[in-house]
Amino acid sequence: MRKVFQAELHQVGEELIQIATLVQNALSSARTAFLDADIQVAEEVISNDARIDFLQNDLDERSIDILALQAPVASDLRMIVGALRMSASLERMGDLARHLAQLARLRFPEPVLPESMRGHFEQMFDIDLKLISRMISVLEDRDISEADEIFALKSELNLKHQRVFEMLADPSWDSSVPTAVDVTLASRYLERIGDHGVSVARKVSYLVTGDWAPASDTRPTGHGHIGTDAGE
């Protein structure tokens, strides 16, 4: 019975890594769709999000079954509860990648961004992709020393997000109001992807150590959320 239980726990961990890898692929493709106004890639990202949703639901059902049938305790209980929370964060990251692809589809054949902001958003995408790569490593290896790099990347992302508002407020900004809204939403989506990546890393740390250190709020202040999904 114990071997079966451990096999079930292992499967939960493998599914988390599978979902995280799909999220990584989704954001990489969303980067192409968003920056290059590639409608075909945008449609693929939007369509493929259903796979992430399905796997999250499957993992959650599996985890709930384990809770009901095995009554885990101590570290095993932390693993199951943590998996439920991490799967929710990963699913939201997939949703945010889909939102970025939807912006690309909405503005096609025009690009979402003015050319002056392209380089800045390339950097934001690259930070998020690097953060997700480190997050997957933490999930695979349970090496919480890598979490510090994730936190550092998130701080860098926060500064990039803050810079977007400064660019929009600059007197030289001459693009339209809809473009300003799109830019704000896109920056917020990228910032929130980083937030969820940090959340996953912290939960892995909790699984390994049993200690939960409340996160300090690393998000920029002074700006409201724009858009119905910006707070995901």
Local confidence pLDDT in tens for the 232 residues of the chain: 567 777 888 899 999 999 999 999 999 999 999 999 999 999 999 999 999 999 999 999 998 988 887 777 777 888 888 999 999 999 999 999 999 999 999 999 999 999 999 999 999 999 999 999 999 999 999 888 888 999 999 999 999 999 999 999 999 999 999 999 999 999 999 999 999 999 999 999 888 877 765 444 444 433 433 333 445 6
> Treating both helix axes as pointing N-terminal to C-terminal, what angle do 177-209 and 2-36 enclose, rounded to 10 degrees?
160
- Please name the residues in contact with 51: beta carbons below 8 A apart, sequence gap of 6 or more: 22
Please state the separation of Cα 158 from the chain's center in Å.
Answer: 14
Say which CATH topology domain 2-209 has.
Methane Monooxygenase Hydroxylase; Chain G, domain 1 (1.20.58)
pLDDT at 41: 99
Count of beta carbons in the 10 Å neighbourhood of residue 137 = 17
Query: For the whole prediction, is pTM greater than 0.85?
Result: yes
Contact 228, 88 (CB under 8 A): no
